[in-house]
Structure 1
Amino acid sequence: MDDAVLKIATETAWAVYRARHTDVDAFDSRRCLLERHLLRRKEECASEAQELASFGIAYLCRLPGDEC
């Protein structure tokens, strides 16, 4: 998977998450957690940005609010 797919997936997941959680700042620490999570997952996933983004959205939704 190339870096462009990872970047698209990260941007998509982050945008969807922030649209659902309007109280989350654009520079929230969850963004960094998301990037690290997707970087680890990219070897396991197909090269589809949408699939990787869906893994990222699911990951963000599982994070407890007080962890960030």
Structure 2
Amino acid sequence: MQRFDGWLSRTGIAHKKHNNGYHVVLTLPDGRMIDCWPSTKKWQLRGQRMSRNGKALHELVLQQLRPWP
């Protein structure tokens, strides 16, 4: 969870922590929400299926922060 917290602070994305940090809700600039459970390394784009692919989460967030053509 420390790695996740470090990554979260580096991205600077808006987020709210729930349940003592075991559930984190990220809010993307376009208004979509991502639910993350750092302790189990799971995440899901709200309304979609769960994933454990951390690289996909990282790329999704980076794409929103710095959109490339």
TM-score (norm 1): 0.36
Richer in strand (by share): 2
Higher normalized contact order (CA 8 Å, seq sep 6+, divided by chain length): 1
Structure with more of its chain in helix, by fraction = 1
